[in-house]
A = this chain, B = another copy of it.
Amino acid sequence: MATANVTPITSADRTFIQLRQDIVEGVIPAGAKLSETELSTKYQVSRAVIREAINRLTACHIVERRANVGARVVELSEAGLQELYEIRESLEGMAARLAARNMTMAEINKLLNLLDTHFETVREGESYYQEAGDYDFHYRIILGSKNQQLITLLTEGIYHLVRMYRVQLGMAGPRVTTAYAEHKHIAQAILNRDEELAEILMRRHITYSKNTIAKKLASQS
């Protein structure tokens, strides 16, 4: 009776997650061809589970597949980044709106606490904030929307692509303090249950973030 509600994990699930991580982290570089037989030996599973993993990655736009030809990791381009962030702006803006409507006071308080903690670490000069803290903030708001489909779309689909851009461009440095101020304003709007403002601020925040990445990408090509 005390058995936790643990959902079984299949071999295909594990392989999917592992493969996705290897791509996002750049172990398998952007644009690389994904040979099914090669991967099946590498991950010690049959081609069937590799195919399932690749199919799932195709669904979230991390790899592209052509029938009878094969699958390749997507190429990172400025156009692709633009497209991705237009979608992210749209969906996360909506998430912020819904969060302002649906988050409980307890959840909002935890969000505010989080920001305070971040502020401390930022002042102490750790740029660790950007990677983990930024994600944490956005994640809580997404969950706060209470829209299960939206949550899946963002956390299972778009997020990993976003992360792929950030990781492979070596994003770590700047935009820490400004981002903090923006986060603070968004949280305040949610606290005030101001849906309209929460959405607007989130969209602007994401647009700024995109511009930072786009600049970096342009400077590297």
Contact = CB atoms under 8 A, between A and B. Distances in A.
A86 interface: yes
B90 A94 contact: yes
Interface string A61-75: 100001110000000
Contacts of A138: none
Contact of A83 (B48, B55, B147): B147
Interface residues of A, number: 33
A150 B67 CA distance: 22
Interface in A121-160: 147-150, 152-153
Contacts of A9: 67
B8 A68 contact: yes
A185 interface: no
Contacts of A55: 52, 55-56
A78 interface: no
B67 A7 contact: yes
Nearest to A95: B90
A93 B148 CA distance: 20
Contacts of A84: 149
Nearest to A199: B90
7 contacts: A8-B67, A51-B52, A83-B147, A83-B150, A86-B98, A87-B147, A90-B94
Given A8-B68, A13-B67, A52-B52, 7 more contacts: A7-B66, A48-B48, A61-B152, A80-B149, A84-B149, A86-B94, A90-B94
